[in-house]
């Protein structure tokens, strides 16, 4: 429910987003072009925009029907349609000439104007439909639904997207009607060949060209950086917090029956199990994925708990749900578990069926289940190690159980994150952020010229890269430069490749010469052999501004950077 309400209000405030503001003249213009007394036009534009946005989401984000069609094709189509509409507004005689030439006057009146004197509506339909793909990248909440909810629960995601679209449509309707009402009071606006409508036509053409060239994104960045209003921060507050019901009690969930395992395969360290096999034991269900730095940082605590309490009737089940496609490979997961020293049972949930059964949303996330099979505690993300261990001991002591006198170091565990730390940064188009270069980051093979990094958290590319929704793959020796704030820096690579080296420099110096190389770096190079997380930088202490440059050989794909402090 909170997600649906958040999505609805996010849709409403999307009209304030920097990427939407340049498009509002098109909404208003489409509502008033033709007959300003035609009250259908705002409804038609907004309805077609809403349908277009939902269809665009389903076809491009939820299916693979257009997997080989570069997203810029849809950008060019949207921009081109808006330019075309602008040209027709600027030169209305062109439209009239085509209609006369093809002898379509009667048909256009019957099919488009319904014979009621209100004028054709095809322009309003096309205007709204063209704007759908453009509106699909304007809200962090919309992006959250696509990236986090859609891959694991299609039904919930689509309801949330529809809720988002309804909120957006409501505000756009109000804007369209307000524009109509204002224009009706201006007599000169009613002349289709007057200067007002010609100015409107020029705005259409300019907006369309901005979309085609990608300069609408640069305008968005400029507006975002030079206004006090922080749309992204406001939108982020509408995203559900990481976690369920929590309070100061270590058993923070109203008890409910834990769902049975569904679709778990390729068990590691154990034969296939069902949750019912652990009746009479306290079970910690840990949702994780092996390249997630947040998950990796919880592993020392998990291992300590397992070794300390397993003889008292405690069990951990690791449910591995992949974030990236290469994490679906059982051999990769088994290798990662072995390298991390994880000896408790682990199973692969490649289809997110157990994830969905628990309505889980995050990596990592833990569900603590008592001896009767009831969930008694939940925690999403890192931290609260002390509370989790206290909960484990509490449940083990129920019904006359016992626990060892010793506890683990979890009682002093803290999350190694600073407020100023660079956030996790994805490199694929699905969730990329803070990218700057001579052209936008869109799917396909691109040659990039690097841009100056004017702020911390920005990154840029040079050379030829193949860009996908998940990451970026070097096509030749190419470079990535990242300006960041952190103590530690990690990168996740994809797929199994022949051993090859990425060169690493820090602030222009080979990193091994600085004494700040990460544990996976030798002689300023990190050897890439498989899809996993590599530690690039170890600064010894938090640093507010540093720049790392990676020289990446052909065939190596980078997916995400993560940071620690």
Does residue 106 have a pLDDT over 80? no
Query: Which of 355, 383, 412 represents a domain boundary (last residue)?
Result: 412
Closest CA to 523 of 551, 504, 506: 504
Strand segments, DSSP code E, in 101-221 are none
Asked if the structure places residue 199 within a domain, the reply is: yes
Least confident segment among 144-148, 405-409, 541-545, 548-552: 144-148
| 3 state DSSP class of 49 | helix
Identify which of 17-31, 95-109, 528-542 has the greatest average pLDDT. 528-542
Which residue's structure tokens are 């110096």?
509
Structure-model confidence comparison of residues 401 and 364, the more confident one: 364
Asked if the structure places residue 250 within a domain, the reply is: no
Domain CATH code at residue 507: 2.60.120.260
Domain CATH code at residue 357: 3.40.30.10
Asked if the structure places residue 523 within a domain, the reply is: yes
Identify which of 185-189, 201-205, 281-285, 554-558 has the greatest average pLDDT. 281-285
Cβ atoms of 472 and 466 closer than 8 Å: yes
Closest CA to 60 of 440, 321, 430: 430
Query: Which of 204, 236, 268 represents a domain boundary (last residue)?
Result: 236
Asked if the structure places residue 417 within a domain, the reply is: no
Distance CA 381, CA 388 (A): 12
Asked if the structure places residue 308 within a domain, the reply is: yes
Q: What is the CA radius of gyration of the chain?
A: 28
Does residue 318 have a pLDDT over 90? yes
340 with 225, same domain: the answer is: no
Distance CA 197, CA 191 (A): 7
470 with 522, same domain: the answer is: yes
Helix or strand run (H / E) with residue 218 = helix 215-225
Angle 75-234-204 from CA coordinates, rounded to 5°: 30
Q: What is the pTM of this model?
A: 0.48
Tokens of 473: 């793959």
285 with 390, same domain: the answer is: yes
Kindly tell me the sign of the dihedral angle through the C-alpha atoms of 502, 342, 354, 253. negative
Count CB atoms within 10 A of the CB of residue 159.
16
Domain that holds residue 330: 256-412
69 with 211, same domain: the answer is: yes
Cα separation of the two ends of the chain? 35
91 with 208, same domain: the answer is: yes
349 Cβ contact partners less than 8 Å away, ≥ 6 residues apart: 263, 264, 287, 319, 320, 321, 355
435 with 527, same domain: the answer is: yes
Q: Give bridge partners of residue 367 from the DSSP assignment.
A: 285, 378
230 with 165, same domain: the answer is: yes
Which residue's structure tokens are 């990596």?
363
The confidence band for 23, taking pLDDT boundaries of 50, 70 and 90, is low
Kindly tell me the sign of the dihedral angle through the C-alpha atoms of 68, 73, 78, 81. negative
Write down the pLDDT at residue 249. Answer: 67
Asked if the structure places residue 212 within a domain, the reply is: yes
362 Cβ contact partners less than 8 Å away, ≥ 6 residues apart: 148, 242, 287, 380, 381
| Pairing of β 472-474 and β 459-467 | antiparallel
Which residue's structure tokens are 């994805």?
426
Percent pLDDT > 70 in the chain is 69
85 with 122, same domain: the answer is: yes
228 with 153, same domain: the answer is: yes
Which residue's structure tokens are 């990769």?
332
Tokens of 10: 């996010």
68 Cβ contact partners less than 8 Å away, ≥ 6 residues apart: none
364 preceded by cis ω (within 30°)? yes
Structure-model confidence comparison of residues 10 and 423, the more confident one: 423
Cβ atoms of 397 and 403 closer than 8 Å: yes
247 Cβ contact partners less than 8 Å away, ≥ 6 residues apart: none
DSSP 371: T
Distance CA 431, CA 287 (A): 21
| Pairing of β 557-564 and β 314-320 | unpaired
Write down the pLDDT at residue 146. Answer: 62
Closest CA to 503 of 556, 455, 438, 437: 556
Kindly tell me the sign of the dihedral angle through the C-alpha atoms of 338, 339, 343, 345. negative
139 with 37, same domain: the answer is: yes
Closest CA to 395 of 258, 247, 283: 283
Query: Which of 359, 389, 412 represents a domain boundary (last residue)?
Result: 412
Helix or strand run (H / E) with residue 306 = helix 293-309
Asked if the structure places residue 42 within a domain, the reply is: yes
Does residue 508 have a pLDDT over 90? yes
State the average pLDDT for the chain. 77
344 with 278, same domain: the answer is: yes
Number of domains in the chain: 3
Structure-model confidence comparison of residues 244 and 505, the more confident one: 505
Asked if the structure places residue 419 within a domain, the reply is: no
Structure-model confidence comparison of residues 5 and 234, the more confident one: 5
The confidence band for 230, taking pLDDT boundaries of 50, 70 and 90, is low
Write down the pLDDT at residue 415. Answer: 45
CB-neighbour burial class of residue 445 (10 A; exposed 0-12, middle 13-18, buried 19+): exposed
The torsion region of residue 263 among left (phi > 0), alpha (psi -120 to 50) and beta comes to: left
436 with 517, same domain: the answer is: yes
């Amino acid at each position: 429910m909170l997600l649906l309400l958040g999505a609805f209000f996010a849709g409403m405030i999307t009209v304030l987003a920097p990427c939407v503001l340049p498009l509002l003249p098109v909404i208003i213009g489409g509502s008033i072009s033709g007959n300003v007394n035609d009250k259908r036009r705002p409804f038609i534009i907004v309805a077609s925009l809403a349908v277009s946005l939902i269809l665009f989401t389903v076809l491009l984000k939820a299916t693979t029907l257009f997997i080989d069609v570069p997203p810029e094709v849809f950008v060019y189509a949207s921009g081109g349609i808006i330019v075309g509409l602008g040209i027709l507004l600027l030169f209305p005689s062109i439209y009239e000439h085509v209609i006369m030439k093809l002898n379509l006057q009667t048909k256009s009146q019957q099919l488009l104007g319904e014979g009621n004197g209100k004028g054709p509506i095809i322009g309003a339909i096309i205007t709204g439909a063209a704007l759908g793909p453009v509106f699909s990248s304007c809200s962090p909440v919309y992006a959250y639904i696509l990236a986090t909810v859609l891959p694991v629960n299609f039904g919930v995601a689509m309801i949330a997207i529809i809720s988002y679209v309804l909120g957006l449509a409501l505000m756009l309707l109000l804007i369209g009607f307000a524009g109509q009402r204002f224009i009706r009071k201006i007599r000169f606006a009613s002349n289709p060949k007057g200067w007002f409508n010609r100015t409107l036509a020029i705005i259409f053409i300019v907006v369309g060209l901005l979309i085609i060239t990608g300069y609408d994104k640069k305008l968005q960045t400029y507006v975002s950086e030079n206004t006090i209003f922080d749309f992204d921060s406001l939108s982020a507050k509408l995203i559900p917090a990481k976690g369920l019901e929590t309070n100061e009690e270590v058993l923070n969930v109203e008890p409910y029956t834990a769902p049975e395992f569904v679709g778990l395969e390729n068990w590691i360290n154990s034969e296939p199990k069902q949750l019912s096999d652990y009746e009479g034991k306290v079970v910690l269900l840990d949702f994780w994925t092996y390249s997630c730095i947040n998950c990796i940082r919880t592993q020392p605590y998990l291992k300590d708990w397992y070794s300390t309490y397993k003889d008292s009737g405690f069990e951990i089940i690791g449910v591995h749900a992949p974030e990236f496609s290469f994490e679906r490979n059982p051999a990769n997961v088994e290798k990662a578990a072995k390298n991390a020293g994880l000896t408790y049972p682990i199973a692969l949930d490649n289809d997110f069926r157990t994830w969905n059964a628990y309505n889980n949303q995050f990596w990592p996330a833990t569900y603590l289940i008592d001896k009767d099979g009831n969930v008694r505690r939940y925690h999403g993300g890192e931290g609260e190690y002390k509370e989790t261990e206290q909960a484990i001991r509490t449940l083990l002591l129920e019904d006359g159980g016992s626990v060892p006198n010793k506890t683990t170091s979890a009682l002093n565990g803290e999350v190694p994150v600073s407020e100023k730390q660079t956030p996790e940064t994805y490199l694929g188009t699905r969730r990329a952020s803070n990218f700057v270069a001579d052209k936008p980051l869109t799917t396909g093979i691109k040659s990039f010229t690097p841009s100056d990094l004017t702020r911390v958290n920005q990154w840029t590319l040079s050379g030829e890269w193949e860009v996908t929704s998940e990451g970026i793959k070097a096509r030749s020796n190419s470079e990535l430069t990242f300006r960041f704030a952190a103590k530690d820096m990690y990168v996740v690579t994809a797929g199994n490749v022949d051993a090859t080296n990425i060169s690493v420099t820090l602030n222009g110096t080979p990193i091994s010469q600085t004494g700040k190389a990460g544990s996976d770096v030798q002689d300023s190079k990190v050897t890439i052999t498989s899809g996993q997380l590599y530690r690039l930088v170890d600064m010894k202490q938090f640093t507010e501004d540093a720049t790392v440059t990676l020289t990446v050989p052909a065939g190596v794909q980078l997916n995400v950077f993560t940071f620690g402090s």
